[in-house]
Structure 1
Amino acid sequence: MNYYETFLKLAIGMIGLIVQINLFGKGNLAPNNAIDLIQNYILGGIIGAVIYNPDITAFQFVLVLMIWTLIVFLFKYAKDHSYIIKNIIDGRPVILIEDGKIKVDEAMRLGLAADDLMLQLRQSGVTNLEQVHYAIREQNGQITLIKYDDNDFYLPVITNGNVNNHVLQLIGRDRDWIEYEMKRQMVKLRNVYLAEYIDGEVSFTLYKDTLKHDLWLKQNARLKEKKEAILDEAKQILEDD
């Protein structure tokens, strides 16, 4: 065994891992979606298989790591910019309990046994199904509970410029409503990092590079309204004279 080459490959693997963690964020340290899990599994497999294979050179190892990093980047980019691709890769949240009633078909489709469901509910402090307004199975397998006495829960109606149709369905709204809210607050969909539904209202968080632009648009709109009001008042005075 060539210990020098093995050490070099280990160092390259460590550097590749650090680069991916810093490039794609810390999600793979605590995976909460399919891409993070797959990224960890395959990256570990690549490093483990290459280190003890003398037929693969350090240069080839670097190329493989670069190709895998590019593939992960493309998948993450596509997932963050397409609601359809995100649903295909990560799946979508599923309502398991609505108004205290378990949706048995959904639970069975997810392979969630009654004992497992009740265990997760008890761990969340629920002892009676009648306490639960909604129970939602998230993409990472966790269950989010909304109780009848919860008045401060927030629901993401838009994430990364993509409208979450299942959330709109959950709150009894449709796409026309969120488009009206964006128009009312002078916000464009592509500029929205996050939009939360809070007490019947929508709170928008925009990407940093659009904040000044949208603020400028809002200020201009207010000035335009004031100008029109002044002109209308002046016309009224002239007509009275």
Structure 2
Amino acid sequence: MTYYYTLVIIKFIIGFTIVITHMNFSGKTQLSQMTPIDFIGNFVLGGIIGGVIYSDTIPLHQYVILLFMGVMFISLLNFLTKKFNFFRSVTIGNTIPIIKNGQFIMENIQEKRNKIDMLNITSRIHAQGVYSFQEIYYAQIEPDGQLTIICDKKNMPSVILIKDGVIRTSELEAIERDEDWLKQQIEKHGINNITDIFLAEFWHGEVSFILQDGKIKRVDEQKLKVVAENS
């Protein structure tokens, strides 16, 4: 019996160590940082640990291999969601605008897969200190389920058009622009390669580019450059 309980403790320590190490390496040590992939993956890892820890039929080395396979699979899915918009939209989701220019976007609200409960939305806007839909200029549901509400159109949130050199076409469509327009903006800012762009942020009708080295290309800089060249 002593051997059995010792083995259980060893399995528990190994499982706990692998999961905590994975969370630290991925930078997902808090619940607010976790994606749906992380939540599901942690359930899977917990199932492996819970299913094996009290069993003496599965050798210790197979238990460790199973845990590493689970960790690698979660890491692969997270990598794909960062690099490919398709995987991100499927696994994490996109923002869902429900009010724009003071008008309800009924196709988004009535889309069955969005599962939007307007009575729940009503309670949530009241909790944010907004007491009528008539006050709202723009509203969207974030991928994590949070609700963003804008009452003054001057305070519209920014939109990320490029992430790590990859164009986010759904966000371009949301601001009613196309890839040709975005490429023109890239050329105007003197950026030679789209892979040099870490983030492209659209705000107040203008685009700012944050490069991979941390430098920022803003519209104001471009205007000053034009003035300097013409003077």
**TM class, shorter-length:** 0.7 to 0.9
Q: For structure 2, which runs of at least 5 residues remain unmatched after alignment?
A: 218-224
Measured after TM superposition, the shift of residue 151 of structure 1 is 3.0
Residue 138 of structure 1: which of 123, 128, 142 is its match? 142
In the alignment, structure 1 residue 201 sits paired with structure 2 residue 206: yes
1:235 corresponds to which residue? Answer: none
Measured after TM superposition, the shift of residue 149 of structure 1 is 4.4
Larger Rg: 1
Measured after TM superposition, the shift of residue 146 of structure 1 is 2.6
Measured after TM superposition, the shift of residue 21 of structure 1 is 0.6
Given residue 124 of structure 2, which amino acid in structure 1 is its aligned partner? Answer: Q
TM-score by length of structure 1 reads 0.79
Runs of 4+ aligned structure 1 residues displaced above 6 Å come to none
* Aligned CA-pair RMSD: 2.8
Measured after TM superposition, the shift of residue 76 of structure 1 is 1.3
Given residue 142 of structure 1, which amino acid in structure 2 is its aligned partner? Answer: Q
1:237 corresponds to which residue? Answer: none
TM-score by length of structure 2 reads 0.82
| CA 1:44–1:179: 2 relative to 1, 3 Å | same
| CA 1:87–1:149: 2 relative to 1, 3 Å | closer
CA-to-partner distance for each residue in 1:1-28, whole Å, 9 max, x for gaps?
A: 5011101011111111111112211266
Cα separation, 1, equivalents of 2:178 and 2:22: 38
Q: How does 1:1-241 map to 2 (within 5 A)?
A: 2-26=4-28, 29-30=31-32, 32-108=34-110, 109=112, 110-151=114-155, 153-187=157-191, 188-208=193-213
Identity rate, percent: 27
- Alignment length (residue pairs): 217
Q: For structure 1, which runs of at least 5 residues remain unmatched after alignment?
A: 215-221, 230-241
Cα separation, 1, equivalents of 2:98 and 2:87: 23
8 A Cα contact 1:159 1:195, kept in partner: yes
1:26 match: secondary structure: coil
Given residue 205 of structure 2, which amino acid in structure 1 is its aligned partner? Answer: G
